[in-house]
Structures are given as C-alpha cells and as structure tokens.
Amino acid sequence: MKVLVAVKEVVSVEDDFELDGVGVAEQYVEYDLNEWDDYAVEEAVQLQEAGDDVEVVTVTIGPERAEETIRMALAKGADRAIRVWDDALADQPLLDIGAKTRMLAAVVEAEEPDLVLSGVQAGDDAFGATGVSLADAVGFEWAAVVNGLEIDGDLAAVRRELEGGVEELSEVELPAVLTIQTGINEPRYASLRGIRQAQSKEIAAQSLADLGLDAAAVEASLDLTDAYEPESESETSYFEGGADEQAAGLADVLREKGVGAE
Amino acid sequence: MSDDVLAVAEHRRGDLRDVSREAITAARAVADGTGGDLHLAVISGDVDAFAEELNLDGVDAIHTVDHGEEFNHDVYAQAVAALHESIDPAVLLTPNSVNGLDYAPAVANRLGLPLVTDCTDLEVGDRLVTTREMYGSKVETTVEVDLPAAVTIRGAEWPPAEGVGDATIEPFDVEIDESAIRSTVTGFEEAGGGDVDISEADVLVSIGRGIGEEDNLDLVFDLAEALDATVSSSRPIVDSGWLPKNRQVGQSGKTVTPDVYLAIGISGAVQHVAGMKGSDTIVAINTDPNAPIFDIADYGIVGDLFDVVPELTEEFSG
C-alpha cells in the first residue's frame, strides 16, 4: 500500500505583529509544519508500522525553505518526499484551492497512492477544502474531518467529527482522500535516529513542467486585496496590578455574582 | 450565468441545522446585490417538511431532492452540481460546516468554480468580495473572486431568516448515479467519556493550551474546587488526552451557557468561542493581551496563569 500525505509548511504569527501589505511582516513570522498535517503524518506512519510493505510519501507545495519542515515529516518516519514549486507560484500571496488541487492531482496521478491523507485545514489560510477538491479531481472517494481510521482491505472505516460532540461512522472505498482532524492520534516527536536518517531521504523537487502543467494551471482565481487586524469590539474591564491584586479584584467580582458561596 | 443565487440547506438526524436559515439570510443579501432570485436546495431526509420549514421571507424557489435519509457527500455533490447546471447561478452558497466542507469543494472542482471558504461577510458587485480570517483569527482579509463563484459561510455570522415566504417548492429531477456513491454512513455516536455534564454547570473553569503540561491541571482543579465550579477545556487539552471529550467546549464539543465562564490560558479561537459566547459573564486570563478571547470577555486579566490562578484559589480557600 502507498500512502501519500499532503504536508504544508504554514506561517505562524507572533502575538505582537505588524502587517506588510496583504501579509504579515517577515520579522513576525515563523514557519512550521501545519498542526493538522502532523496528525496526518502520524496516522500514515502508524499504518506503515502496522502493515506490511506500506510506503509513506509526503508531498508539499512550497519553496526550498520548506525542506526543513519536510525533513521533520521524514524524521517521523515518512520514506520520501516530493516538493512542488515553480517561479510562477512565488508572486502569489494566496494560492487558491483550484491551483493547489491541480498540482496535487498531478502528483497523485504520477504516484498512484491507495490513500491520501492531509490535515483538515492549514493553520494559516484555513481554507479546509483542498483535500476534498483533490479527491474529486482525481476520482478518489473521500471523507472530511476524520478523527478515527481503520483500514480493512479496500475499505476505510472512518469516524467523522461533526459539530456538537457527534461523530459519524462511515465506510469509504479506497482509493480515498481523508482529511485528518487533530486528536486522532498522538503525533510522535522525531527521534535522533529519525532525524539522522531523514538527512539521507529523498526530497524530489518538481516544477510545473515536471508535472505536465503550465503556469495557467496555477493562475489564481482569487485576489487577496486587503489584510488588517480585526477591530476589537471588546468592552472588557481589566484588573491591573500584580497577580495578587488582579486575583483580589476578580475575586470581588466573582463573589458579587455568588461564586464560591456555600 | 444568471443573476441568481443557489444556497444549500443542512440537516442532521431529522432536524434542520441553524446554519440553513443563516445561509438563506446571507444568500438573500447576495441575490439582492446581483438582482436575481434565491434558490434553495433541500437534499435528503424529509425534504417536504424541511422545505415547508425553510419557506421563509426572501426565498424564491425551493428545489427538493428526495434521496436517502442522511447526508451523503456523493449524493449532495451530484445533486448540487446538477442544480447548478440547471440554474446557472452567479453564486453558490453553502454552510462552512463539517458536512459543507465535505461536498462544496468537490462541487466547486467539478464545475470549475473558484471557492472561498469560511466567509464572514459578502458583498457583490462586478466581483464577489468576501471577508475571511487567516492566521488563527489574527488577521482579517478581503478576498475577491470573479463570478460565477462558490462560497461557504461561517456559522452564526448572519442572523437566521424569518417570516413567511412564498417560494415555489418543487422536486428537482436529477438522476443520482448510484455507482458514484462510494461511501456509506453506518451510524452516529455521541462523544463520550466520564459522567460530568459541563452544559449543566453554573460556573465553569475552562482551561486551554496555556496550561502547558498535564501535571499543571491540578492548579485548575484546585481552583474549581475552591469556586465550587466544574472544569471544562478547549480542544488542545482533549486532543492531548488530558481530559475526556465530554469536557470540551466549542463547535465540535459542547455548547455551554453558564453564569460565569472563566477562560484560563485559552486564546479564543472561533471554534471555541462558538461554544461559550452565550455565557452570562466571561472572564479571561491570558498572557497575550491580543488574544481574541479578550474580544468577548467581560473581565480580563493580562497575566501569567501560574501566578494568578493560585492567588485566586487562595482568595476562595479557608
């Protein structure tokens, strides 16, 4: 079995930051493995450990910088990686779902995995849509927001986390794309051995031409035209001073509301 | 392309979900902008009863597709795509729910529509201008797309549609290709774990990522005991396995409305806020003065929970 895991390097923003145009100014930005994808990688590696002859391949759309993040996934046990990038992507502040779908679809068609896993959403743009879009593009079945997975032959028994503490149980025919929710497993930390081994694992760089695509395939259908810090509608009363004074102030308010009264 | 708007209703286990009425409100406003009609799709379940219930002010036409009881994304994707081809709307609008995100991206891909998800505001002119958040609600953005386009809307951002409508209600004639239905819903389960019902508590002490380590939870339980309160949490605590799922407040957990909600080390992601914003009094303790939780808090302490919480416990002890 081959499992392809779509892994994104996401932008995380410091608590205090400034904007620069339609993005966050570079000095306030860090790059991380997307939290949801960390769970997807773990799920794939667990399938690999449980089964015979399961290959785990990651695919990332991102510039060379992203290789550091990709190595994290390799250190956790993925066998090899594919990194898609092209100069045509460099100038786009926000890649749209369609562009990502076309690139990932080309990789799926080349790799022919039995199962594709991705995080439910990315922590930065939070579209939450690429996995399902990809499934439709490549003719795979799919399930979104999966927090439980068991593979049985060519069927995946999944739990989908609906709203309000309700879970849907579904059977999904493979090949399929599943978007993985946090909490499905406990992502491991990479071992020193894993980190060392990751250094020698392959990260295959693929351009649009390598994937048989042209620049038109990734032309954005959307424009990010403005970015701003949301206006606070807060009318919060703050308790000032040291921790003891703050606690005393809050305690007064809580007592007024009858909290702690026997 | 017509000037019309197509919205899709949502239901689960026999009941319409609130976002169906919100979708009508949002779609009506867009249709007023394009100068077209508002079409509503009602798919699966008791479609006739749902259609009656959603015949609200502003809806022009309701199309029912009677196929199966519960949501199935293959059925929805086929039905919505077929309706889209028939109506040829300027905007397709669906809920940004777990199920909405299970078919809308497939429909958008199938029809070649640009898709913008989790919109919190929509304006239409020559293009569709959407508002949505990025970077965990730290930044709000404007994203514009050409028409025709597809959007999903965040829950509880638009008021529910009301009033009595005079929509036409007709079954939509679509041949669902059964061979393309390759997943089956086999059941539902309530997330369990423990016997505490946080939705019944008058005072909740709720803990988030800021607690850092499992061992530190003692601090919070001590405070809860002193306050005669119940401990709940945000998602990361449950994901880490430190508290059972039935303690989770938020979109995927429980909705709570206590007299006092004490949010400790919780940043206030939108999914969390959705589950607790109806609390009478909200208190937030967080090191980050910009944390979104302060936007909805009545009282705030900007400070380190490891300093403040023991002091607060002390205030109520002895």
What would the pLDDT profile of B253-287 be if each residue is shown by its tens digit?
999 999 999 999 999 999 999 999 999 999 999 99
CA distances from B262 to A4, B62, B214, B246, B304 (A): 42, 44, 19, 18, 14
Q: Are A6 and A59 a contacting pair, CB within 8 Å?
A: yes
Which of B301, B304, B307 is most worth mutating to test chain A (most A CB atoms within 10 A of its CB)?
B301
Phi-psi region of B14 (alpha: psi -120 to 50; beta: other; left: phi over 0): left
Instruction: Give the pLDDT band (50/70/90) at residue B196.
Output: confident
Q: How many helices (H) and strands (E) does chain A have?
A: 7, 15
Q: Chain B, 103-142: which have a CB under 8 Å from a chain A CB?
A: 103-106, 108-110, 112, 114-118, 129, 132-142
**Which tens digit of pLDDT belongs to each residue from B46-80?**
999 999 999 999 999 999 999 999 999 999 999 99
Instruction: Give the pLDDT band (50/70/90) at residue A93.
Output: confident
Contacts of residue A91, Cβ cutoff 8 Å, sequence gap at least 6: none
Q: Is the pLDDT of residue A33 over 60?
A: yes
Residue in this structure with the two tokens 């894993």, named with its chain if needed: A194
Rounded Cα distance between A262 and A251, Å, is: 15
- A chain contacts of residue B146, beta-carbon cutoff 8 Å: 221
Q: Is the pLDDT of residue A128 over 70?
A: yes
User: Which pTM was predicted?
Assistant: 0.94
**Fold identical between B5-180 and B198-315?**
yes
Q: Chain B, 48-87: which have a CB under 8 Å from a chain A CB?
A: 73-74, 77
- Give the residue-averaged pLDDT of A184-205: 97
Q: Do B288 and A24 touch (CB under 8 A)?
A: no
Domain B5-180: CATH class, spelled out: alpha beta
- Give the residue-averaged pLDDT of A182-200: 96
- A chain contacts of residue B311, beta-carbon cutoff 8 Å: 243-244, 246-248
Count of CB pairs separated by less than 8 Å, A with B = 264
Q: Is the pLDDT of residue B82 over 80?
A: yes
CA distances from B143 to A39, B4, B118 (A): 29, 21, 11
Structure tokens at A33: 């493995």
Partners of residue B145 on adjacent β-strands: A222, B128
- B chain contacts of residue A131, beta-carbon cutoff 8 Å: 105
Q: What is the pLDDT of residue B193?
A: 63
Structure tokens at B262: 């004490």
CATH number of the structural domain B198-315: 3.40.50.1220
Distance to chain B for A55, nearest Cα, Å: 24
ipTM of the complex: 0.95
Q: Is the pLDDT of residue B231 over 60?
A: yes
- Give the residue-averaged pLDDT of B103-129: 97
B195 touches chain A (CB under 8 A): no
- A chain contacts of residue B184, beta-carbon cutoff 8 Å: 170-171
- Give the residue-averaged pLDDT of A27-54: 96
Domains present along chain A, CATH in parentheses: 2-218 (3.40.50.620)
Q: What is the pLDDT of residue B154?
A: 96
What number of residues does chain A have?
262
Distance to chain B for A202, nearest Cα, Å: 31
Domain boundaries, chain B: 5-180, 198-315
